[in-house]
């Protein structure tokens, strides 16, 4: 656990990446698996993760993110996109996966299946879209923690125009919406931010014990 805390103290939101350093395929696979294994509400994972490798696309996306250099300098760019109007199809696909993975007949799960459907499909679409967007942050958290263990830098980013990102990547046609981005790679020696002391609330300020 001490190693985990040390790595959390090491990580920060990198402002300048070293464009010459690339993440190995093995490390990228580890980060992808950490995202895949992330917790989500009901286990539904109502989102996709787009890994943008095309340099021309990344230049376009940079313009939708107010020119921030991380989008083009980082080794990899991930966009966490929540599913729009998530409902019966996504829930049915999840329970089909459960049935096949655990070798449990679908009819044995009908009660829970119907319950999950009744909870989610009765929500207004705007509320459901907000909920699926929140789920992407759980996956982002797993990425941040796994990357820190590998001493790989990640900068989570909300500073972009979702509508423009959706247009560039054609996400609306896929029933998706850009929720949050993450640039991934290695800090540049010239990034002064890495030398700043970490600012966090004290335990007394942050925690309330009842």
Q: Could you tell me the two tokens for 189?
A: 């020696």
Residue 90: inside a domain, yes or no? no
Residue 119: inside a domain, yes or no? no
Residue 68's SS3 state is coil
Per the structure, the complete domain to which residue 72 belongs is given by 2-85+124-206
Residue 96: inside a domain, yes or no? no
Q: Is the pTM of this model over 0.85?
A: yes
User: What are the two backbone dihedrals, phi and then psi, of residue 177, each rounded to the nearest 5 degrees?
Assistant: -140, 130
pLDDT in tens, 54-102: 999 999 999 999 999 999 999 999 999 999 999 999 999 999 999 999 9
Number of domains in the chain: 1
Partners of 177 in the β-ladder: 82
Is the CB of residue 87 less than 8 Å from the CB of residue 44? no
Residue 37: inside a domain, yes or no? yes
The DSSP output letter for 198 is: P
Report which secondary-structure segment, H or E, holds 79: strand 76-83
Is the CB of residue 91 less than 8 Å from the CB of residue 40? no
In angstroms, rounded to a whole number, what is the distance separating the alpha carbons of residues 179 and 17?
A: 22
| pLDDT of residue 191 exceeding 80 | yes
pLDDT in tens, 102-158: 999 999 999 999 999 999 999 999 999 999 999 999 999 999 999 999 999 999 999
What CATH code is carried by the domain that includes residue 155?
Answer: 3.40.109.10
């Amino acid at each position: 656990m001490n190693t985990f805390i040390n790595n959390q103290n090491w990580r920060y939101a990198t402002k300048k990446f070293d464009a010459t350093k690339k993440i190995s395929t093995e490390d990228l696979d580890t980060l992808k698996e950490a995202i895949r294994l992330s917790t989500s509400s009901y286990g539904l994972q109502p989102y996709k993760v787009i890994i943008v490798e095309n340099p021309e696309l990344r230049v376009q996306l940079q313009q939708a993110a107010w020119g921030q250099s991380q989008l083009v300098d980082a080794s990899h760019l991930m966009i966490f996109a929540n599913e729009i109007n998530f409902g019966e199809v996504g829930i049915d696909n999840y329970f089909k996966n459960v049935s096949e993975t655990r070798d449990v007949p679908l009819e044995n799960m009908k009660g829970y299946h119907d319950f999950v459907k009744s909870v989610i499909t009765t929500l207004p679409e705007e509320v459901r879209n907000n909920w699926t967007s929140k789920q992407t942050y759980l996956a982002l958290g797993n990425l941040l923690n796994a990357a820190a263990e590998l001493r790989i830098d990640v900068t989570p980013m909300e500073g972009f125009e979702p509508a423009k990102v959706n247009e560039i990547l054609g996400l609306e046609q896929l029933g998706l919406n850009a929720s949050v981005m993450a640039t991934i790679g290695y800090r540049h020696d010239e990034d002064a931010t890495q030398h700043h002391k970490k600012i966090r609330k004290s335990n007394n300020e942050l925690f309330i014990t009842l």
